[in-house]
Chain A
Amino acid sequence: MTSRAEYCVLACADAWRDNGEVLASPMGTVPAIGARLAKRTFSPDLLLTDGEALLVGLDGRAEGWLPYRQHLAMVTGGRRHVMMGASQLDRFGNQNISCIGDWQRPARQLLGVRGAPVNTLNNPTSYWVPKHSRRVFVEKVDMVCGVGYDSAAAAGPSATRYHRIPRVVSDLGVLDFATPDHTMRLVSLHPGVTAEEVQDATGFPLARADEVPCTREPTAEELRLIREVIDPQGLRDREVPA
């Protein structure tokens, strides 16, 4: 039986399908397992880091040097697909990791904008939300860190030129912005989840087809790689409990 966390790993891995020779930058445990799964199967040319300054192969051995200043150049050069977390995410893909409440005097200070502005304007940026809820999926984010489609359009051609949000993966399903007005759409449901459940856990109306398909099943080899090779300790289940 495939677990919920394993469907999430699979949905994250598929974000890097057909990306070619770019850096996969996963933030979070499930996306990190997903990136490694993609590299071990259908996207072998992906680059990975050790989370610090080294580019490493699947065996952990260094194949290159990527200190922060070169990493930032790689971001602006576009040869990267990052999957970030989100404390808030809205229907146009605006993302917040800075603070909750009024920026002048926040109710809860979080990380700060970090690299979300540079990421979203320069290389594909996907999101991972381990607990899909109305607290995260909000009508309007308190602080736009990652730029959404409406904000990019309002800022003009320099902002939209390289802007792309390929997908949002949550513990309930997969979403994207492939609608005429770039509002968030429900693409697939992890088995056992209904479209109504996802809508109830989302603070704005989601675009969706009458019949929303299920997230794809893993191959036997993918399951083996997840369970025996990449994550034998089951760290994925801590991020997404069964």
Chain B
Amino acid sequence: MTDKTMTPEDVVARLRSGMTLGIGGWGSRRKPMALVRALLRSDVTDLTVVSYGGPDVGLLAAAGKIRRLVTAFVTLDSIPLEPHFRAARQEGSFELSEVDEAMFMWGLQAAANRLPFLPVRAGLGSDVMRVNPELKTVTSPYEDGETFVAMPALRMDAALVHVNRADRLGNGQYLGPDPYFDDLFCEAADSAYVSCEELVADFGTAAPQSLLIKRYAVTGVVATPHGAHFTSCVPDYDRDEAFQKLYATTPWPEFAARFLHGDEKSYQSAVQTWHEESA
């Protein structure tokens, strides 16, 4: 059996500029932040990012790595508006494909099922159709004759997700209340990288429905304790609200210089030092 463990640097070495990259989680919840930070340290750029957006999008936008963003929203949850995403949009720094939350989900479903599109009622009558002129409609061949949006598959070159536990083979387990869409991201991508709080030898007596991600859909597994920081990763930890506030209110060069100058270990220790100083 293939041992798929690798480091964040190994993951990033497999990514190329210009790729379409999916990022799991939702808003400021269980985002693969350690992998995003590794991406920030690399020269990979010009990305099409597909994400229910949170600080993952904010960080990549602030670092100028996004060419096009596919999303329904970008938020920090407890802080509704993501400052770096806002600044980038107001400066016109990247292209945006703005779709509805459900359209996004059906785009993932279509890609995971190797379909070119799936019909969805959402989008009709809204300006989602105006700002995405490439979107087409499809008419039901049955008696109802209804017209729907043909949401195109959101197929991705690579996906990054973070879960609570994983084994070396690529099976991933979530322990919080919501799986979000991480399994779909993995299945909708040509390669998928799963970071986890803890690498386990087996899942013991875990409820089988918590075993979200299957190894056939996974290319690499990365053990990154606290790897979703500063987003939430319950039950391992809640969102680091104080640090998120710092992120949202500190000018980007200052924040990057203090926290993003080194590797993941130096990030985690810089965060710890900041907490000790501000305690």
A56 to B75, CA, bound (A): 25
Look across to chain B and name the residue whose beta carbon is closest to the beta carbon of A70.
Answer: B178
In the complex with contacts A52-B177, A53-B177, A158-B85 CB distance below 8 A: no
B220 to chain A, nearest CB (A): 25
- Known A53-B178, A111-B81; judge A151-B126 contact (CB<8 A): yes
What is the interface size of chain B, counting residues whose CB is below 8 A from a CB of the partner?
40
* Contact A67-B177, Cβ < 8 Å, known A99-B89, A118-B101: yes
Map CB proximity to A onto B129-143 as digits: 1 under 8 Å, 0 otherwise: 011000000000000
Contact of B71 among A112, A156, A157 (CB under 8 A): A112
Q: A54-B177, A143-B127 are in contact. Are A108 and B90 (CB under 8 A)?
A: yes
B121→A76 contact, CB < 8 A: yes
Q: Which residues of B contact A112 (CB under 8 A)?
A: 53, 71-75, 98
Cβ of A229 < 8 Å from any Cβ of B?
A: no
> Chain A interface: which size bin?
35 or more
Q: How far is the CB of B113 from chain A (nearest CB, A)?
A: 15
- A159 near B: Cβ within 8 Å? yes
User: Chain B residues with Cβ under 8 A from A156's Cβ?
Assistant: 124, 147
- Collect the chain A residues with CB atoms within 8 Å of residue B103's CB: 117-118
Q: Does B175 contact A (CB under 8 A)?
A: no
Contact B121 A121 (CB under 8 A): yes
The CA of A112 and the CA of B180, in the complex, are separated in Å by: 19
* Known contacts A68-B180, A156-B147, A117 near B128 by CB under 8 Å: yes
Q: Is the C-beta of B148 less than 8 angstroms from some C-beta in chain A? A: yes
**Whole-angstrom distance between the Cβ of A219 and the nearest chain B Cβ:** 35
Q: Which of A69, A154, A161 sits near B179, CB closer than 8 Å?
A: A69
* A68 and B90 form a contact (CB under 8 A): no
Identify which of B26, B102, B123 gathers the most chain A CB atoms within 10 Å of its CB: B102
Q: How far is the CA of A118 from the CA of B124 in the complex (A)?
A: 9
Chain A residues 110 to 159 lying within 8 A of chain B, measured CB to CB, are 110-118, 120-122, 143-147, 151-152, 154-159
Check if B276 is an interface residue, CB within 8 A of chain A: no
Given A67-B178, A105-B92, A108-B90, are A116 and B147 neighbors across the interface (CB < 8 Å)? no
Whether the Cβ atoms of B90 and A113 lie closer than 8 Å is no
Evaluate whether A111 and B80 lie within 8 angstroms (CB atoms) in the complex, with A105-B90, A106-B90, A157-B146 already known: yes
Cβ contacts under 8 Å, B125 to chain A: 117, 120-121, 144, 147, 151-152, 154-155, 159, 163
Residues of A contacting B102 in the complex (Cβ-Cβ under 8 angstroms) = 72, 75-76, 115, 117-118
**Are A113 and B81 within 8 A (Cβ)?**
no
Does A117 lie within 8 Å of B123, measured CB to CB? yes
Smallest CB–CB gap between B81 and chain A, Å? 7
Residues A145 and B26 in contact, CB atoms below 8 Å apart: no
Is A233 engaged at the interface, CB distance under 8 Å to the other chain?
A: no
B126 touches A147 (CB 8 A): yes
B26 adjacent to A68 (CB under 8 Å): yes
Task: Write the A159-170 contact mask toward B (1 if CB under 8 angstroms, else 0).
Answer: 101110000000
Q: Are B100 and A118 in contact (CB under 8 A)?
A: yes
A161 to B53, CA, bound (A): 31
Give complex CA distance A103, B97 in Å.
Answer: 11
- Once bound together, how far apart are the Cα atoms of A143 and B130, in whole Å? 9
The 8 Å CB contact of A113, one of B105, B124, B128, B146, is B128
The docked-state distance in angstroms from the alpha carbon of A119 to that of B55 is 25
Kindly state whether residue A104 has any CB partner on chain B within 8 Å. yes
* Bound CA span A99–B131, Å: 12
Q: Is B23 part of the binding interface, using a Cβ–Cβ cutoff of 8 Å?
A: no
Interface flag for A107 (CB, 8 Å):
yes
Sample of 9 A–B contacts (CB below 8 Å): A53-B178, A68-B178, A98-B127, A105-B89, A114-B72, A115-B72, A117-B123, A117-B125, A121-B122
| Closest 3 pairs between A and B when the two form their complex, measured CB to CB | A118-B122, A155-B125, A112-B73
Given contacts A113-B127, A121-B122, 20 further A-B contacts (CB under 8 A): A72-B101, A76-B102, A103-B130, A105-B92, A108-B86, A110-B81, A113-B72, A113-B73, A118-B101, A118-B102, A118-B121, A118-B123, A121-B125, A143-B127, A143-B131, A151-B125, A152-B124, A158-B146, A158-B147, A161-B146
